[in-house]
Each structure stands twice: as C-alpha cells, then as structure tokens.
Amino acid sequence: MGGRFRDPAGQCMLAYPARESSAMRLLLATMSHETNTFSPVPTKLARFCRDGTTLLQGEAAIAFFRNTGTCMGGYLEVAAAAGAEIVLPVAASAPPSGRVDAEAYETFCRLITDEVKKGGFDGIMLDLHGAMAVETFEDGEGELLRRIREIDPNTPMAVAYDMHANVFDNMVSPATIVSGYHTYPHIDMAETARRAGRVLLRAIAGEVRPTGAWGAAPMLPHVMAQGTHQFPNKDLQAMCQAWEESGRALSASLFVGFPHADVTMAGLSAVVFTDNNPADAQAMVDELLAFAWKARRDFMFDIEKLDSSVARAKALGAPGKLPVVLLDHYDNCASGGTMDTTDVLREIIRQELDDVVFFGIYDPEAVQQAIAAGIGSTVTLSIGAKLPMPLLPVASSPLTVTGRVRTISAGYYTATGGLSPGLQVFMGTTVVLDTGRVQIVLLSRHVEPTAQEMLQVLGIDPAKKKYVAIKSRVHWRADLGKIAREIVECAGVGVCTSDYGQLTFRNVRRPIFPLDPQHEWNMPKGAA
C-alpha cells in the first residue's frame, strides 16, 4: 500500500506561488498520542493536561516549549527565524495508553479547525505522533488532516511524525511535507520539526515543489529490535539522512511502526518527498522497503525467560562498578503499559539481588499511604497490579513489601539532556521505599525512566548502584545508557509484551510477518 501525490495531469498537487509580502502568519499545533489498543489505561482529556486540568494553549504553550528539544520547540525556532506571527490553539500530548476518548479527540480537532476556519494563514505546522487510535476510528491523525483540508485545501502544511507512526494515506497525501524522526531513542525531535518547517517555508516562497510517495511493507517489527543503535534500523535511517544531506530528498522517513496498535496499517512504512520528482521519491521508498523486508528477521526480538535473565544479572553485578541495567520492557508506560506489574520486581527480590533501584511501580494509593506514614517510617504496603489487563492471557498480582519511606518528592526537574533538553518535567508526587536490598520508586503519574536526573531528583545516584531496574525499552539509552555496564532484558508481564502470541490481532492487515511467518512479499519492481 502507498502512493504518489500527483494530479491526473501529472502535475504536482501541492504547488504554491511565490510570496510577495514579507509578513507571515503560521498556525502551529500539537496533538500527540501513541495508542496501545491492548492497554487498559484510559485516555481522557485530563491525561493531555500537564497539571491534570488545563490544556497548554496560546502564549503559555509557546513559553513552555520555546528553546526545548521537542517538535514544537523546533517549529517555534523556525517560525521565529522567519519573523512569523504564531497562532497556537493547542499543544496536547499524553503518555501512551489506550484508545483516545472520543470527546477529548473532538476537543483537540475543534480547537485546531476553528482556527483554520478563520483563515489568513501562510502555513500550518503540525506536531503529531502517527499512532493515535480513537474510540471511534483507527487513524486519528489522518482524520484531523482530512478535516483541515475539507476547510482549507490550499494552505501549505508540514507534519512531523514519530518514528513509530502507523502510516495511513490520509496522514501523508494532504500534507505539503512530512518528516519523521531518524533516531530511537528520539533525540532528534526538534531537528525533525526544523527539517519539515524549513521545507514548508521554501514551498511557501516558491523555491521548491514538494512531491511525495509512500509505501508499506507487510511486517510488524518488534519494538525491542527497532533501536537506531543497531542493525537494521540504524542502516535504514542512515540511508534517509544521506538522501536528505545530498539534496536528493527534501525529507526521507522510515517509520518502524507501532505494533501494539491493532489497526489496519500497523507496521513498517516509508515516506519520501522530493523537489518535483515523484518517480525518484517512489524509487527511494521502494529501496527502503526492500531493505527492511530483506532484514525482517533482524527486526525480531528473542525472549529470555525471566528467572534466567535475573539470574544472569545477579552473576554480572559487581560492587564499585557501573550498574547492570535490567529492563522490565513488557511494562513500559511509554508504550502504553500500566507500569504497575510486579513480576520483574518480585523475581529480583526472590533472587536476593542487592543494591538495586527499581523505577518504578505506578500506584497512587501506595504513594499516599507512604506519605501518610511519613519519611523515616517503616511501612508494609501491597503495591502494584491494580489495573486489570483483560486483553492479555496472563496477569500480574500485587506484591507485599516492607520498607522505610526514604524520600517523598514533588517530582519536578528541568531536563538538561536526553530526549527533550530544556523541557520542564513533572513526574508527579513520588516516593522511594527502601526495603534494604531494593529501593522501590512508587509513582502517582505514568512516566518512563529515561534520564539519570529522574533518579537524582529523588536523592539516588544511579551510577553508584549495582543494579538499575527500569520499566523502559529503548528510550533509556538516551541518558541512562551512558552508565550501563551491562544490559539484561527481562520479560515480565504487560501490554507491551514482545511475545505476539499473547496478543490477539483483529484489525491489522494480513498476511503480515511475523504473525504469518511463511508469507513472501512481492517487493516493488526496481527495488534493490
């Protein structure tokens, strides 16, 4: 599946006259959510609000994202350099979770389309994820773009997508330019938006005529095998970057897809835009898809039994050296996990690993119980497994632990590196419970542990621990990866499971690898 964007006469569909006025007015907006359709975590409007009640809009949103390593930060930089007037009706993003509430979705769309209806914009810059599924339909981003083009078919529009986008036609064909991240961990969010935004300005000025092509390969890469630190995604992203740097492509994007969204177009795809050369755009798309398909088995992840992985970590631990990092990757809230399964923590305790920090267990009730007891108090708590996972054939169970309340924190810090430098981070009220062998971080908000600062703000230096156990998959490599002496992946329980046999796919297109392991795909003609 895929396509080129040309009209029946063979002319570029989206070509814009050169501007005669130096004045510029730009509409910017964020509507971002990665939807895990197997997740029981609800996605209401409040989840998109930083304080749980208020959406970021207008000047407050501009101030919050200015000079940050985010997509919106990148767009703001481009807009400021152009001396443009900025209208920002909403900057809404939420941690990954279940399908987006229909009312919340309609709120975001209405805020954006109401501004589009007012008109007077020279360009539109959108920060979207690409894997948003709504209660009422599969393709949240494509529906937004469709509604925008229904109101305004002509204003040039740039869209920045996450690398984990599941690409539908409506996510690409209405846009003037589409750009996706080149890195996982996603340390190039701002650069992605700058790339899309600068091409948009060139299109507005009549300097380029963006023409695009896209296509999809029938494969569902495992998230744990998608990192750009390793083959094959490292090589695929390098191809895209080389084409952009040479000028052959205005933007070239390889999307690995998000397999835990059971939607028609889940999986790997490619989108390439050129300066009025649709045939070459298609040729690059075909080359990317062929490369990925030939390497499809390298996109699969081998699962180690939990007891074996924890035993291996125990043997690797050494005092006075950098820590062994244990990944509880089945339950990563940044992929829609509940972040409250206890199986990996239980096994760490059972095998008596010591000098461990475990980040973390989402359990607002336990947080409040620890706060009520007070710092220094010894408490016995039943933690975790409070969110049922009805779409999984396995379940977690609460874990009873006794420990001293070591830290109570408001959970605020400003990121200095990692994924989003300059961004103000709010982890929510957080408690550290010290059992003697294990320091357990108890959370009241879903937040993925990716940065050393997230532990340092709790009074823990992760570099000095023997073991750092985290509910993360790949993003931790952006900062915590700097101190990892060894890495051990632990298959626990959760809706981010790497075992596709635990998931019932009803909507994804079939046949598709590896759900249909013997499937042979007829690659595009001319593909390398």
What is the per-residue pLDDT across 112-132, written as a single tens digit (0 to 9) for each?
A: 999 999 999 999 999 999 999
Domain hosting 196: range is 2-299
H or E element in which residue 79 lies? helix 71-81
How many distinct structural domains can be found in the chain? Answer: 2
CA dihedral 85, 206, 9, 211 (to 10 degrees): -80
Any domain includes 42: yes
Any domain includes 511: no
Please check whether residues 222 and 107 belong to one and the same domain: yes
Question: Which amino acid is it at 480?
Answer: L
CB 99 within 8 Å of CB 37: yes
149: left (phi over 0), alpha (psi -120 to 50) or beta: alpha
Report whether pLDDT(8) > 50. Answer: no
Residue 11: pLDDT band (50, 70, 90) is very low
Please check whether residues 326 and 437 belong to one and the same domain: yes
What is the per-residue pLDDT across 156-189, written as a single tens digit (0 to 9) for each?
A: 999 999 999 999 999 999 999 999 999 999 999 9
pTM over 0.75: yes
With a pLDDT cut of 90, the percent of the chain lying above it is 91
Report whether pLDDT(9) > 50. Answer: no
Please check whether residues 294 and 328 belong to one and the same domain: no
Q: Average pLDDT over the chain, rounded to whole?
A: 95
CATH number, residue 70: 3.40.50.2300
The residue count of the chain comes to 528
Report whether pLDDT(21) > 70. Answer: no
Mean pLDDT, range 218-241, rounded to an integer = 98
Helix axes 58-65, 71-81, angle to 10 degrees: 100
CB 129 within 8 Å of CB 34: yes
What is the per-residue pLDDT across 438-481, written as a single tens digit (0 to 9) for each?
A: 999 999 999 999 999 999 999 999 999 999 999 999 999 999 99
| Cα–Cα dist 216/524, whole Å | 10
| Cα–Cα dist 30/108, whole Å | 9
Question: Which amino acid is it at 395?
Answer: A
Task: Report which of 362, 446, 357 is spatially closest to residue 406, judged by C-alpha positions.
Answer: 357
Any domain includes 233: yes
Mean pLDDT, range 250-266, rounded to an integer = 98
CB 325 within 8 Å of CB 486: yes
